[in-house]
Chains A and B, each alone.
Chain A
């Protein structure tokens, strides 16, 4: 699945490179929080593990065999940030040493295989592990589902990048069907192996499985015939560090604005792949004008500005701004509600500082950020 040079055109590769660099920078910060100064040796050894486990062959049938991709496994075992870092380093070394995946396509490869796979797998795993009843079986189910979805999700992300900057003229529908179809099959194998591996680790060292932290039952001792909680082993609720997300926000916003406003200058002047297919096949004849067609921002341009590039860029910036405002409003509302729900029904909960939410909220900004950049690349492809 390593994308070689020349498959995605230069501008889109560059944009993907910038996105990948941003994701790696965010992960470097996050990994330092997950592992503090142990980051370098531990992440390095986990990367070596992923590199080795990709060489482990799993026989399928009739002499064919497959191997693990490892993104979902890394996310579940060591956490999303360290997972992204490990897979990214593996990809970097594969590109430099083994010529596996092109150097200019490194950004695409990291965005698709390290970031999308890991983030999707971790989000699904944590979500399911919370929803399902506690126990090893539900963790296995969660690991299975996470790996199963993460591989086609990466394929879909690749198809999206291909739609914007592919150099060949294969119809998008065919690419999507082939990519996602094949990767659903691969995903089933990946899911089975990931679930079995996670199960094996949980059986021996449940404390090492990052995704299952805080989900294991506390240790209890039988003293004089009755169970009591073991002293000092009750896992302290992982207190979210009271830190400001403001810097992260500012960087993400700036990157989105730059992408939307300036990079869209250089984007392809063709309409996007779907529109093109629609146009070629002629099934956009019956397309009705959208209800907002004469809104001031219709077709990613601003009405009274004639310079196409300037207007496209401005529309991109405004679009990013609107997305950020809407996203923050939703995020803020959810956090308010959650803060009110966890605290007792007293007035104190309303004045509680917003940063003391439960542990998962710490990863929320990083999941909202891709939405912001995704919305930023959308105008970029249409300007």
Chain B
């Protein structure tokens, strides 16, 4: 818990992007990703335009390029899969560097790589500029069922507590000379997982009792309502609208 109450992808700052109300940002990112996904893959320049758009947002949010690129590494397993596509796909084949590759597979790999990377990049920007609590407020504002938002907020609030409990159990195991080396040790680890479940569940019951004793009756009071002015909406929606223009151009030109 030494890292304060922000998640580790958040980057504190005071840029105009940080200051935007969370639900406008959520809407903008979601619309942007939808536009990106529905762009024809043949319009390669459109994806470059999207990347430029995102880079300008990152600049406005003062998110360092290196920080941003490092976060993109989460995609790696998936990139490996995309690189495999040209070899297994069917259809007409072409020669690249002496290897026989499928044309469809190359297009498919490009499609998945470009769209996946842009999606990850947009999500990383959102996570880097929005605090957890704000994110939940935004989801609530976007009319997600209140119960779902409550569950998500409990998960976020107690995620670190539970993960810490797991870490303590690991330290306890290791200080007793245990080291998991193979399948034979699964029993011990599974017992830890079982104990973790019981502890989490019992903690949930205690939390509920504590809430009831403070007057909880099934819904959380809304303390700070997130509101957005028209100017803020316009500012946030500039990204998806520009992207939409690019997308339409892509459809007409290709």
Contact = CB atoms under 8 A, between A and B. Distances in A.
B105 A55 contact: no
Interface string A99-124: 11011100000000000000000000
A90 B186 contact: no
B37 A6 contact: yes
A182 to B, nearest CB: 11
Contact of B217 (A6, A37, A49, A89): A37
Instruction: Name the residue in B29, B155, B182, B220 with the highest tally of chain A Cβ atoms < 10 Å from its Cβ.
Output: B155
Interface stretch (B59-67, B84-92, B237-245): B84-92
Contacts of B156: 93
B190 A193 contact: yes
Given A4-B120, A89-B148, A170-B90, A58 B154 contact: no
A6 B183 contact: no
Contacts, number: 257
A42 interface: yes
B52 interface: no
A32 B194 contact: no
Contacts of B145: 24-25, 28
A61 B184 CA distance: 10
Given A104-B34, A197-B194, A45 B200 contact: yes
B186 A171 contact: no
A170 B89 contact: yes
Interface stretch (B13-21, B108-116, B226-234): B108-116
Contacts of B45: none
Interface string A1-30: 000111101100100000000001100100
Nearest to A7: B112
Interface in B13-48: 29-30, 33-34, 36-38, 41
Contacts of B183: 59-61, 192
A55 B170 CA distance: 12
Do most interface residues of chain A lie in helix, strand or loop, or is the interface mixed? helix
Interface residues of A, number: 72
B246 to A, nearest CB: 16
Do most interface residues of chain B lie in helix, strand or loop, or is the interface mixed? helix
A169 interface: yes
A48 B88 contact: no
A45 B185 contact: no
B251 to A, nearest CB: 13
A40 B151 contact: yes
A89 B189 contact: no
A77 interface: yes
Contacts of A157: none
A237 B78 CA distance: 49
Given A53-B193, A89-B151, A99 B124 contact: yes
B141 interface: no
Contact of B30 (A42, A103, A171, A199): A103
Contacts of B208: 37-38, 41-42
